[in-house]
Structure 1
């Protein structure tokens, strides 16, 4: 991933005399908890998870909008042996990042309705059960030229929530 990131950075730098700088400054959560005004050059990846505590199974979902996505793109995944909803939300962000990295997107906003998880990612605080997933997420940051994390309300994440619930429900059929 690091090699791909460096190659992408080098290719982008060839197009202009000014070398693009990688920015991984993650903003603090705003008091309004809203996304800033949309930017046509930045893709937005909404993530969510639906957890079944009895089966320890989770449906993960992500929805991508914005540049270079002219149409909404989305994906889902199922994971077994997930021990908490917080772990499920972290897995959703990781899967969303893997997917957007494979789409050659360089500027990204990641959005989740889980305030605790966004706080962990922004402040780089430790949560024992999230250590490896957070490490994976932080390693993926270097694939992007810029990336920011935002907390959004559940109402603004309804489409992704419905996808996650549907993928979990369909996994039992």
Structure 2
């Protein structure tokens, strides 16, 4: 027995159960103490946890380069955060005249990949009115680079989805 009542040693396996991705102590069901593992043949990590939170860690690429981290994963982020992204959208989006003339409102949900350099590619609309989606796509294609996602301190490509809402203001 490795653990009982959420305390002891845990071994985490890959989704296909073909490899161990992490090993370390757990306390009250949370990572607590020194952990190590590897996610694939290009990444290994060592980290210290307290109550499930990373205190400090290092990811190691196949090249041997060391990447400090304090979160296992981070998602891609527009430079400056969500508020800056909202400002960028508000400044950049031009309500399509055809949509305005036909009282078309709604949202377009876009999905794209943010690569390791923060460049957006494979941008496409997964839901929304075609006219609104065209404008949303135009603006996202013009986006400046983003802060890329990380996995154990190493930048990685990540898929990101964003809803962009279009609404008309009416005069009273």
Band of TM-score, shorter chain: under 0.3
Provide TM-score, normalisation by structure 1.
0.21
Query: Which structure: greater strand fraction?
Result: 2
Q: Select the structure with the greater relative contact order (CA < 8 A; seq sep ≥ 6).
A: 1
